Amino acid sequence: MKPLMRRVRVPSARVLQLTWNGRPLRAHEGDTVLTALLLAGERPRLTLGEGAPRAGFCLMGACQDCWVQTAAGKRLRACSTLARDGMELVSAQPGEIPCT
């Protein structure tokens, strides 16, 4: 997919290596998981009904539109979670992460 974000300036922060659904995903220190996903043209989840890609909505931890999971099954909000080196993340299938 086409990236929904682009950097206006490349940060001097350290580059982090994560994985998304088993594929390499780069981030810079200080990026949220959602920033890394949208810069890479990825989407954090699909809608329950249509399976349409979602990209987050509020970007501040309030709407719950950006749930993703760690490879170990822990769910987290991509917009309010800082990327960490070595993170292994997977998208949730529609219906796997209920709204709470």
Q: Whole-number minimum distance, CB 67 to ligand FES, in Å?
A: 8
**Which residue number, 61 or 94, has a Cβ lying nearer to ligand FES?**
61
Q: Reduced to 3 DSSP states, what percent helix, strand and coil does the chain have, rounded to the nearest 5? A: 10, 30, 60
Q: Whole-number minimum distance, CB 82 to ligand FES, in Å?
A: 13
Residues that bind ligand FES (CB under 6 A): 56-59, 61-66, 77, 79
Quickly count: other Cβ atoms within 10 Å of residue 61's Cβ. Answer: 14
**Which residue number, 12 or 80, has a Cβ lying nearer to ligand FES?**
80
C-alpha to C-alpha distance for 28 and 12, rounded to whole angstroms: 8
